[in-house]
Structure 1
Amino acid sequence: MQQATLEQWKKLYKEADALKEKRPWTIFEDIDLIAVQLEGKREPYFCSIMGKQGNCPGITMYYGMDGYSDLCMIMDSYQYSAPTTYIMGDITCMTCYYGDKNEMEPDQRKIIQDLGLKYEGANDWPYFYSFEPRYVPVNLNRDEVIQCTRIMEVLNKTVDMVMEDEEWLPNFEKGELLMAEWDFVEEGEEPNLSIYPLPLPNSIPRFLTVKVEDSVLGEFKEYERSDMELVMDLNYLFTPIDDPDYDRPINPLLVLAYDLKEDSILAGDVLTLDHDEMERVVSIFFHIIENYGIPKKLYARNPRILIGMEYLCDQLNIEIVNDPLQELDDIYQGIQQTL
């Protein structure tokens, strides 16, 4: 992973500081999207400005329709009870947060120190992360620093235009976003920024229902029914595992099966990067039926499981329950301490 130079970081901090001074979160809700189309990119970056609700101010940047799907998952997460650790562990994006010094990683504090920049107090220190599924968040690489700088340039110009005339704002409440398209020109010429409303795109279905052959289902329908209340969960542990074959530390993804009535773990598996999570969930699910019978209920909080298991549970007449499953939090904490 190639590192950015100090000069490249300096340009990024300059744009991030300029955006912070404008306080765009006083204008935009985090669900008010700005789509930034950069020259040379086939798809736009979908940007969300955080901070209006009193949470940590910042910007998240998701590339293309796959990134938009990640963003929709976050915005729709209120429908489910999935923990933040899963939602934030399963996205691809770049972020800029404005927080406190003690929230920053040492390498980012060193960059600020080497640049001679000065920040003070809460929500003043800019820091950046790159998110990718199955890996823990890391510092931006060189290409990401360059892309993030260009996006911030566009956002700065966009916010300036909106602050001068709010007529530029789309009707966010009626399903519009603000498109910002910067036509980059020859060196020395002033670039032209066009902003205009567009309808929000339809999101790509993120979670698919798993189906199996009728012959396989027929075999499992023959098993006896039990009164088991089965819990199945997927969650990221955010306990970094370094592997020399990868340029980012791995974020372990755990699939867990738990007997709610007996308060006991039935199965648990830390998935490798090659594992398909729903294949493993279904494999464990069928293994439990073979050993304990068809459960009465399936409890889950992860939308990938709640949606993915709909067909199988319907065919096997198992009730699916969307539940926060707070009992699992202590289990995960104990597992984290062993890694």
Structure 2
Amino acid sequence: MDIPKVLSDEWRKLYDAAMEFKTLKPWNWMSSADLFAVKNPEDGEVAYCSIMGELGQVYALAAYIGSEGLDSYLAIQSGMYEGNPEAMHVQKCLMASFENREYLDKQDLKVIKDIGYKFRGKNEWPAFRTFEPGYFPWFLNSYQVRFLTVILHQAMEVALECKDNPHFLMNNETECLIRVPEENNGNLTWKNEIIELKVEGKPVMVPIYDNEIKLKRLKKQAKSKQGLWAVDWFYSPQPVAEGDRPYYPAVVVVIEGQTGQVIGFDISTKDEYLEKIQDKFIETMENLKIIPKTIYVEKQDVLLALEDITKPLNIEVILTDDTDLFNDVKYGMYEFFL
């Protein structure tokens, strides 16, 4: 794997900021629900920040990047992923955490040695990772190191304000305090502003399915229109080490509704999973010579990907999260692999 190269001076500044943050112990008076934002002076990117540690289990600062990151933070805070193995795949954030030595990678230990620092004790070893849906948690690049350094410094400023004034942060569902940089005569200063929290969602590029000949042939060959199926995709619990960064393949499944049996199964890359859903759904109908009367789908992108198939075949599609069909398959795979 290709580990990003970062200058020692940049690493040193990040570790210095992390150690100062750890010494402050802001989790003693702040919770993960105390959301605030920091704007990157380099390019204006916004990170939505959450300090963890009030429960005494995980000590960290998570900086959720952009609107996609904000969406993931709000989804996690809402509890919709509680107990769901997919929770590990929704975050888009940079994270600074404080771990035991055995949880660090040899690359982390090499950086610490190279910059001449030493740590000892439980939850005393800084670790830095970037999280992105579909990818294995990975090492920071130079840009991310610099941004996280800025975030840690501004998080301490916010934390100190909160210590003096418990009502300093907005803590509502529509607005958020943001730390905004200003450059005056070559000097960088910071001010507080209020921004609106907008849940925009990530746009989905849905592939067009236009094989009319195959759909007509399927209508003729199918024995009947019968039964209830479910169609879904989720990230595999096992990463694949290819390219610059390990990723989690997308698992595509077609499930028979009465028995819960998987009747269609395939693996896809993150970029091609919607095409794979279309192909596997068609292939399953061809193999069984059955067109389902109804299908359940759990995700909006699955519904959109199958529209060009379900409409011509007059298949009823129900978007629902109230079914155990999906969870039984997902949990079964996670229990097998993990």
- After TM superposition, the score normalised by the length of structure 2 is 0.78
Assess, with a 3 A threshold, how the Cα gap between structure 1 residues 201 and 329 changes in structure 2: closer, same or farther: closer
Q: 1:24 is matched by which residue type in structure 2?
A: P
Shift of 1:56: 1.9
Distance 1:113 1:69 in 2: 37
The answer for unaligned runs of 5 or more in structure 1 is none
Match of 1:239 in 2: 239
Conservation of the 8 A alpha-carbon contact between 2:294 and 2:317: yes
Which residue in 2 is equivalent to 1:143? 143
In the alignment, what sits opposite 1:48?
50
1:37 to 29, 36, 39: 39
Q: Matched residue of 1:168: which SS?
A: coil
Residue from 268, 285, 292 that aligns with 1:289? 285
C-alpha separation between the residues in 2 aligned to 1:282 and 1:295?
A: 14
Q: How many residues align?
A: 326
Once residues 17 and 27 of structure 2 are traced to their aligned partners in structure 1, the CA distance between those partners, rounded to angstroms, is 16
Q: What amino acid maps onto 1:41 in structure 2? A: D
TM-score, with length taken from structure 1: 0.78
SS state at 2:147 partner: helix
Q: Deviations over 1:96-154 (max 9, x none)?
A: 12233332222213333443322312x43321111234432211122211121112112
Residue 172 of structure 2 aligns to a residue whose secondary structure is helix
Equivalent residue letter for 1:199:
E
Q: Distance in 2 between matches of 1:144 and 1:261?
A: 48
> Residue 15 and residue 221 in structure 1: after superposition, are their counterparts in 2 closer, same or farther (change >3 A)?
farther
Per-residue CA deviation, residues 231-275 of structure 1 (Å, 9 max, x unaligned), is 533223342323xxx322233222223335445432322213541
- How many angstroms apart in 2 are the aligned matches of 1:54 and 1:313? 50
Give the Cα separation in 2 of the matches to 1:7 and 1:46: 26
Identity value in percent: 21
In 2, Cα distance between the equivalents of 1:221 and 1:32?
A: 55
The answer as to whether partners of 2:264 and 2:281 remain within 8 angstroms in 1 is no
CA shift, 1:58, in A, is 1.5
Closer/same/farther in 2, CA of residues 289 and 105 from structure 1, 3 Å limit: same
Q: Which residue of 1 aligns with 2:245?
A: 248
Corresponding position of 2:7: 5
One-letter amino acid of the structure 2 residue matched with residue 169 of structure 1 = L
Q: Per the alignment, do residues 204 and 134 of structure 1 end up closer, same or farther by CA in structure 2, a change over 3 Å counting? A: closer
Q: CA 1:310 to 1:38, structure 2 compared with 1: closer, same or farther past 3 Å? A: same
**Using a 3 Å threshold, how does the CA distance of structure 1 residues 162 and 81 change in structure 2: closer, same or farther?**
closer
Greater mean alpha carbon deviation, residues 130-139 or residues 208-217: 208-217
Q: Is contact 1:82-1:303 (8 Å) kept?
A: no
Unaligned runs of 5+ in 2: none
Superposition pairs of residues 101-250 of structure 1, within 5 angstroms: 101-114=101-114, 115-121=116-122, 123-170=123-170, 172-184=171-183, 191-204=188-201, 224-242=224-242, 246-250=243-247
- Structure 2 CA distance for aligned equivalents of residues 262 and 235 of structure 1: 23
Change (3 A) 1:87 1:313: farther
Contact 1:32/1:177, CA 8 A, preserved across alignment: no
State the distance in 2 between where 1:300 and 1:159 align.
Answer: 43
Give the aligned partner of residue 21 of structure 1: 23
Q: Which residue of 2 aligns with 1:58?
A: 60
The alpha-carbon deviation at position 8 of structure 1 amounts to 2.0
Is the Cα contact below 8 Å between 2:96 and 2:127 reproduced in 1? yes
Superposition RMSD in Å: 3.7
Letter in 1 for 2:267: V
User: Counterpart of 1:62 in structure 2: which amino acid?
Assistant: Y
Distance in 2, matches of 1:117 and 1:184, equals 35
Q: Is the 8 A contact 1:25 1:52 kept in 2?
A: yes
